[in-house]
Amino acid sequence: MSAPELQSGRAAGRRSAIRAVVALAVFAAILVAVYVARPDDFVLYIKAFHVIAVISWMAGLLYMPRLFIYHSDAEPGSAQSETFKMMEQRLLKIIMNPAMMITWALGLFLAWDVYEFQGGWLHAKIGLVVLLTMVHVLFSRAVRNFAADGPRKSPRYWRMMNEIPTLLMIGIVILVIVKPF
């Protein structure tokens, strides 16, 4: 990759990071405004923001293994491999990490304020979210490994790993909506 391409990639990365910071700042400002105003439907706003964060986090968790599948087939050091590295880093740092943190913060607030940490369904849900977080950590380690051109897992491995967030999401949604116990 030539120096101008790298510079434009870095500049584009900076612009993406700035846009992400602005978006997070706007999100935080809206959240603070709702918290300060404390409308009668305050909890519904928190639930809505929690769902928005969950959707963003899940989008990343479902997309990242697809990138890994394609990255596994790319020759280390090739332009294609370098592009995947950049995409993986940006997805992790700009979307997935903030979305996960917001999901956890708002989810724990709801568990404490609305449900007072009561209910077997809530404990099971938190357990599944812990497993989802472990998948996130596994993907984060894979991003670092790909960035270092370390040993690669096969595309088949990443296809199988792609199913884990989906299965955990199904369990979480059923627990939240049905509250079976």
Torsion of CA 20, 54, 152, 164, to 10 degrees: -170
Q: How far apart are CA 44 and CA 28, in angstroms?
A: 16
CA distances in angstroms from 155 to 34, 107, 138, 158, listed in the order given: 44, 33, 16, 5
Binding site residue list: 50, 125
Binding site residue list for heme: 50, 125
Q: How far apart are CA 58 and CA 64, in angstroms?
A: 10
